[in-house]
Homo-oligomer: A and B are copies of this chain.
Amino acid sequence: MSNENLLKQVAFIKEIDQLKYIQRRTKLFNSDRHENDAEHSWHLAMMAIVLAEHSNTTIDLLKVLKMLLIHDIVEIDAGDTFIYDQTKSHTNTAAELLAAKRIFGMLPEAQAASLIAVWEEFEAGVTDEAKFARSMDRFEPLLQNISNKGGTWEEFNVPYEKVVEKKKIIGDGSTPLWKYAAALLDEAVEKGILKK
């Protein structure tokens, strides 16, 4: 039975290698190279480890790390949805749910159910862990765009108001982090790399 589990888990481990090919719109810090989803997931997990003290509430860091490490795996099937896309919603789409069922469904049943639940909890954004995890997911590209003289804000003509609308949920996870991030956005406007 344990060996049957192992075979399923190894098949899953091979399958998720594809996350390394999914390109995001945002680019690495001070760079022209697009970030891929696997690198992004690693970076968010590292951020959660070092920024946990700024969470608004006591959080289960292990849960947060699981959320961040798996949150984009559905994009292997469903593709990356750009946060400022006007036509396609970034929220839990039918395609993403199908992807979660197929990919996590490669694992032993109980494990699949458990990881799908973690992913759904992240997507819903209601629990303290989901709020903090989502604030990491919004904060990283903000730092990247600033390092890249506006990055995707500049490239896709995204105005300050729209950026604030998307980024302010950082505060649901961490008030001090949002305070800091909001100041960075104001500075970006002053520097002319974000348009008001």
Give A residues with C-beta under 8 Å from B.
Answer: 2-3, 5-6, 9-10, 12-14, 16-17, 19-21, 28-29, 35-36, 38-39, 41-43, 45-47, 49-51, 53-54, 61-62, 65-66, 69-70, 107, 111, 115, 140, 143, 147, 176-177, 180
List, in ascending order, chain B residues with CB within 8 A of A12's CB. Answer: 50
In Å, the complex CA distance between A69 and B177 comes to: 22
List, in ascending order, chain B residues with CB within 8 A of A10's CB. Answer: 143, 180
Copies of this chain, complex-wide, total 2
Query: What 10 A-B pairs have minimum CB-CB distances, sorted nearest first?
Result: A42-B42, A62-B62, A17-B29, A38-B39, A38-B42, A9-B50, A20-B39, A41-B42, A65-B65, A45-B69
Would A51 and B180 count as touching, CB distance under 8 A?
Answer: no
